[in-house]
Amino acid sequence: MPDHNGTHGGQYGALFGGVFDRGGADLSDAAWLQAMLDTEAALARALERAGLAPAGSGAAVTAAARAQDFDAAELGELAALTGNPVPGLARALTRRVGGQAARAVHQGATSQDIVDTAAMLLARQAIDAAKADLERAADAAANLAGAHRRTLMIGRTLLQQAVPVTFGVVAAGWLAGLDAAAAGLAQVRRTRLAVQFGGAAGTLASLDGAGVRVKALLAEELDLPDPPLPWHTERLRVIDVATAMARVTASLSKIARDVTLLAQTEVAEVREGAPGQGAPGQGAPGQGEPGQGEPDGGPRRGGSSAMPNKNNPVAAIAILGCAKQVPGLLATLVASAEQEHQRAAGAWHAEWQPFSDILRLAGSAAAWGNELLSHLQVDTGKMAANLAAAGGLPMAERVTALLRNALGGPQAHDLVANAAARSTSSGLPLRDVLLAAPELEERLREAGVTAGQIEAALDPAGYLGASNDFITAALEAHRAQPGGIHGR
């Protein structure tokens, strides 16, 4: 398993693999081939344990089942003759085993048993890798939430300034999504992975009454759950795994989109860091600028091929690039669930690449998410400056609440709306408009509202509602998660 600076040379190959093959699971052709061989080897061991294959068959098949000894390209060409690569693989494996032990190769199985079980083995690996990265990302989000409980910033709704929030409550929202996605992966891993073994039409008739035992032994050999019956044309397991992975990319894409917006030049409230740049979340960017070029003049982190000044949020962009591919892939898997009788004509075949791609993309997004949040730099000064530059307008709701009892709801709303419009058109702070306009001053005096009360209502630190409670609740829920931060 490579580190996150390398790739497996999977679907995207070397050229695009740095972005889309960044996860910790290997989903390359070689990995698929090995997973299918592992299934064949486990079947041979199960058959031997059940007394249906000669002694030593399991060990002989296992020793021969090494992906590096098979030609994946040749198997791909043979797949054009049979519709899938397993018949060619089974023949090649039989030749490599030889002797009496070769009788155990593929006995009782059909091609779909081998491919589906291999898919479950790869899914388990992909889930474990993605979950580990999600948990690290969630720990980083928890650190940000705790460190920035009182870091004021403008809240934004419909991409417009709203009421003040804290960056801590923003990070707590990110944390909740990551924890939910990780919990979903754990549940699917525990309840929805399963061995596939049904033979020609899902009855295991060729095993003469020993099918149920062999199925159970196969599951034991592979450490996969043993389902009540084969699921050749009942594809909810595939959909459930893919959906859990789609939830991973959904939770990460929300974070990534927030970061791209907060990192815009005109906003500049956060920026991406990179490994080796010091602890995240410590004031304005410093401690080594992100994206410095290599000593030999190579590309720098966040750089542009055309604009030397650029510092693009690479991790966030890569997450979004992964996430935007997943819904269409998931839709293909859902559409493929309509499968005829005991074996699908094409729908099963349509699952292979989308399923593998979803595992790969979700794992890559999770790896990027871990890097993004672990090294995110928060500019608290810029957050404060942006909030101050709003001229008090984000506090209009609180001022309206102050006036409501004295003036009534509609009148209070209209008065503050007019004052806000004057503030916007004149460039004066809302405070100055409210306290300096004679007609407003008279109405406020009649309502018994003092200048001191207006000043207090315009203090954003006093209008954070339950933000601190929400942060505490999110952190407590995270600590309770298996794998979450403990004792902080």
Active-site annotation holds for 111: no
- List all residues 6 or more positions away from 347 whose beta carbon is below 8 Å from its beta carbon: 335, 336, 337, 338, 339, 340
CB 67 within 8 A of CB 81: no
Higher-confidence position of 394 and 296: 394
Domains of the chain: 32-94+104-288+300-381 (1.20.200.10), 393-457 (1.10.40)
Which of 213, 343, 404, 443 is labelled catalytic? 343
Q: What pLDDT is attached to residue 98?
A: 96
Instruction: Provide the token pair at 422.
Output: 């004057």
Catalytic entry in 304, 445, 479, 488? 304
Average pLDDT of span 344-352: 97
The DSSP line for 225-294 is ---SS--TT--HHHHHHHHHHHHHHHHHHHHHHHHHHHTSTTT-SEEE--TTS--SSSSSS-SS-TTPPP
Average pLDDT along the chain: 90
Average pLDDT over residues 399-417: 86
pLDDT by residue (tens digit) across 274-325? 776 544 444 444 333 444 455 555 565 655 455 555 678 999 999 999 999 9
pLDDT tens by residue, 2-14: 444 445 545 666 7
- Bridging pattern class, strands 152-157 and 160-166: antiparallel
Strand partners for 165: 153
What integer pLDDT is reported at residue 482 of this predicted model? Answer: 81
So what's the pLDDT on residue 279?
47
How much is the pLDDT for 402?
A: 87
pLDDT for residue 296: 56
Catalytic residue list contains 343? yes
Q: Are 304 and 5 in contact (CB under 8 A)?
A: no
272 pLDDT above the threshold of 60: yes
Cα-flanking dihedrals φ and ψ of residue 304, to 5°?
-115, 150
Whether residue 319 contacts residue 368, with contact meaning beta carbons closer than 8 Å, is answered with yes
Is the pLDDT score of 469 beyond 70? yes
pLDDT of residue 167 exceeding 70, the answer is yes
Find the length of the chain: 488
Q: In angstroms, how far apart are the furthest CA atoms of the chain?
A: 103
Give the pLDDT mean for 427-436: 89
Share of the chain above pLDDT 90, in %: 77
Nearest to 474 by CA among 105, 58, 180: 180
Structure tokens at 440: 């407003």
CA dihedral 238, 242, 244, 245 (to 10 degrees): 150
Q: Which residue has the higher pLDDT, 17 or 476?
A: 476
Q: What is the pLDDT of residues 92-148, one digit of tens each?
A: 999 999 999 999 999 999 999 999 999 999 999 999 999 999 999 999 999 999 999
What pLDDT digit, counting tens, does each position of 192-219 carry?
A: 999 999 999 999 999 999 999 999 999 9
